Structure 1
Amino acid sequence: MAAPDRRRPLGLRATVAVTIAILVLGSALAKGLFVGNSAADALAQEVGSSMTGLAQSLARQLDSTMWARANQIAALSRIDALKDPAVAQSTIDELKRRDTTIAWIGMTDAGGRVVAASNGLLLGADISRRPVHQEGMKGLFVGDVHEAVALKGQVPYLQGETPKFVDVSAPLQKSDGTVVGVLATHYSWEWAHASIRQLIEPLADLKGLSLFILSADGTVLIGPDGSVGRPLPVPVLSTRTRDGWSADVWPDGVTYVTGVAHGKGLHDYAGLGWTVVARQPADIVFAQSGRLQQIIVGSGIVLALLFSLAGWFAAGRISRPLSAIADAAARIGSGERGVEIPDVGGAAEIRRLSASLRDMVDSLTNKDAALMRLEDIAYEDRLTALPNRRYFEQYVEASTGGNGSATVMYIDLDGFKPVNDRLGHDAGDAVLRQVGSRLAAIFRDDDVIARLGGDEFAAVLPRRPGRAAPDTGELAARIIAAVNEPVSIDGEKVRVGCSIGIAAWPEDDGDMATVMRHADAALYKAKRDGRNRAVRWVRQVAERAAE
Structure 2
Amino acid sequence: MSIHLRTLFAGAFAVVIILLTALLSLLIGKESSKTAEVTIGRSLAEVAYQMSYSLDHFMWARSEEVEVLSKLKAFQEPVDKKEIGGLLNQLKENLPVFTWVGYMDAKGNVLSATDNILVGSNIKDRPVFKFGIDAPFIGDVHDAKLLAKLLPNPGGEPLQFVDIGVPVMDASGRAVGVLAAHLSWEWSRQVESSILTPLKENMKGVQVFVVSKNDNTIVLGPSSQVGKPMKDAALTEARQGKSSWLVNKSDGGQAYLTGYAHGDGYMDYPGLGWSVIIRQPAEIAFASVHRLQNYIALSGLAVAVLFGIAGWFIAGWIARPLQLIAEKADLLSTGKEAEIPKFNRIKDLSILSVSLRNLVQNLSQTETELSYMSDIARHDALTGLPNRMALDDYLAHAVNKAKQNRSTLSFLYLDLDGFKKVNDTLGHAAGDKLLQEVAFRLLESTRDNEMVTRIGGDEFVVILHTSAAKPMQEAEVVAKRIIDKINQPFLIGGEIVQVGCSVGAAVWSPETQDTSEILRLADDALYISKRSGKNRITFETAV
**Secondary structure in 1 matching 2:179:** strand
**Secondary structure in 1 matching 2:204:** coil
- For 2:209, which of 192, 208, 212 is the aligned residue? 212
Equivalent runs, 1:61-80 vs 2, <5 Å: 61-80=54-73
Gap runs ≥5 in structure 1: 321-345, 348-547
Identity percentage of aligned residues: 36
Shift of 1:161: 3.3
Inter-partner Cα distance in structure 1 for 2:260 and 2:152: 31
Inter-partner Cα distance in structure 2 for 1:297 and 1:215: 47
Counterpart of 1:263 in structure 2 is 263
Inter-partner Cα distance in structure 1 for 2:263 and 2:222: 20
Counterpart of 2:179 in structure 1 is 183
Inter-partner Cα distance in structure 1 for 2:3 and 2:104: 105
Counterpart of 1:148 in structure 2 is 144
- Could you state the TM-score of these two structures normalised by the residue count of structure 2? 0.53
Shift of 1:287: 3.0
Which residue identity is paired with 1:182? V
Inter-partner Cα distance in structure 1 for 2:246 and 2:65: 38
Counterpart of 1:165 in structure 2 is 161
Shift of 1:47: 2.6
Inter-partner Cα distance in structure 1 for 2:118 and 2:68: 24
**Secondary structure in 2 matching 1:61:** helix
Which residue identity is paired with 1:86? K
**Secondary structure in 2 matching 1:123:** coil
Contact preservation (8 Å) 1:137, 1:182: yes
- Which digits, 9 at most, give the CA deviation of each residue in 1:428-472, with x for residues without a partner? xxxxxxxxxxxxxxxxxxxxxxxxxxxxxxxxxxxxxxxxxxxxx
Shift of 1:306: 5.2
Shift of 1:131: 1.9
**Secondary structure in 2 matching 1:136:** coil
**Secondary structure in 2 matching 1:138:** coil
Give the direction of change, closer, same or farther, for the CA distance of 1:216–1:319 in structure 2 (3 Å limit).
closer
**Secondary structure in 1 matching 2:286:** helix
Q: Does residue 98 of structure 2 align to residue 102 of structure 1?
A: yes
- For 2:5, which of 10, 13, 25 is the aligned residue? 10
Shift of 1:312: 7.3
Contact preservation (8 Å) 1:244, 1:259: yes
Counterpart of 2:26 in structure 1 is 33
Inter-partner Cα distance in structure 1 for 2:318 and 2:156: 81
Inter-partner Cα distance in structure 2 for 1:23 and 1:235: 46
Inter-partner Cα distance in structure 2 for 1:230 and 1:297: 44
Contact preservation (8 Å) 1:102, 1:187: yes
Larger radius of gyration: 1
Contact preservation (8 Å) 2:233, 2:248: no
**Secondary structure in 1 matching 2:276:** strand
Q: Does residue 225 of structure 2 align to residue 230 of structure 1?
A: no
Give the direction of change, closer, same or farther, for the CA distance of 1:72–1:110 in structure 2 (3 Å limit).
same
Shift of 1:226: 1.9
Gap runs ≥5 in structure 2: 321-344, 347-543
Give the direction of change, closer, same or farther, for the CA distance of 1:227–1:160 in structure 2 (3 Å limit).
farther
Query: CA RMSD for the aligned pairs?
Result: 2.7
Give the direction of change, closer, same or farther, for the CA distance of 1:54–1:80 in structure 2 (3 Å limit).
same
Inter-partner Cα distance in structure 1 for 2:48 and 2:22: 38
Shift of 1:16: 6.0
Shift of 1:167: 1.0
Which residue identity is paired with 1:230? K
Give the direction of change, closer, same or farther, for the CA distance of 1:35–1:226 in structure 2 (3 Å limit).
same
Shift of 1:65: 0.3
Contact preservation (8 Å) 1:246, 1:259: yes
Counterpart of 2:287 in structure 1 is 287
Q: Does residue 296 of structure 2 align to residue 296 of structure 1?
A: yes
- Which digits, 9 at most, give the CA deviation of each residue in 1:97-154, with x for residues without a partner? 2211111101111222111110001112112222212222222221111222111121
Give the direction of change, closer, same or farther, for the CA distance of 1:16–1:278 in structure 2 (3 Å limit).
same
- Which digits, 9 at most, give the CA deviation of each residue in 1:354-383, with x for residues without a partner? xxxxxxxxxxxxxxxxxxxxxxxxxxxxxx
Inter-partner Cα distance in structure 1 for 2:149 and 2:46: 37
Shift of 1:313: 8.0
Number of aligned residue pairs: give it.
Answer: 314
Counterpart of 1:454 in structure 2 is none
Inter-partner Cα distance in structure 2 for 1:35 and 1:169: 58
Inter-partner Cα distance in structure 2 for 1:202 and 1:144: 29
Contact preservation (8 Å) 1:157, 1:190: no
Inter-partner Cα distance in structure 1 for 2:265 and 2:286: 35
Q: Does residue 43 of structure 2 align to residue 50 of structure 1?
A: yes
- For 2:196, which of 194, 200, 204 is the aligned residue? 200
Inter-partner Cα distance in structure 2 for 1:8 and 1:228: 69
Counterpart of 2:337 in structure 1 is none
Inter-partner Cα distance in structure 2 for 1:318 and 1:119: 91
Inter-partner Cα distance in structure 2 for 1:8 and 1:274: 72
Give the direction of change, closer, same or farther, for the CA distance of 1:29–1:152 in structure 2 (3 Å limit).
same
- Runs of 4+ in structure 1 over 6 Å off: 309-315
Contact preservation (8 Å) 2:207, 2:222: yes
Counterpart of 2:525 in structure 1 is none
Counterpart of 1:123 in structure 2 is 119
Inter-partner Cα distance in structure 1 for 2:63 and 2:147: 21
Counterpart of 1:245 in structure 2 is 245
Contact preservation (8 Å) 1:173, 1:179: yes
- Which digits, 9 at most, give the CA deviation of each residue in 1:11-60, with x for residues without a partner? 6xx76665544433321110111212222232233332222222222111
Which residue identity is paired with 1:28? T
Which residue identity is paired with 1:147? D
Inter-partner Cα distance in structure 1 for 2:159 and 2:245: 32
Give the direction of change, closer, same or farther, for the CA distance of 1:22–1:183 in structure 2 (3 Å limit).
same
Inter-partner Cα distance in structure 2 for 1:56 and 1:250: 21
- Which digits, 9 at most, give the CA deviation of each residue in 1:267-311, with x for residues without a partner? 111100111111111122233222111111122233335556777
Which residue identity is paired with 1:291? R
**Secondary structure in 1 matching 2:39:** helix
- Could you state the TM-score of these two structures normalised by the residue count of structure 1? 0.53
Counterpart of 2:53 in structure 1 is 60
Counterpart of 1:400 in structure 2 is none
Inter-partner Cα distance in structure 2 for 1:36 and 1:319: 32
Inter-partner Cα distance in structure 2 for 1:15 and 1:219: 66
Contact preservation (8 Å) 1:158, 1:190: no
Shift of 1:92: 0.6
Inter-partner Cα distance in structure 1 for 2:88 and 2:45: 39
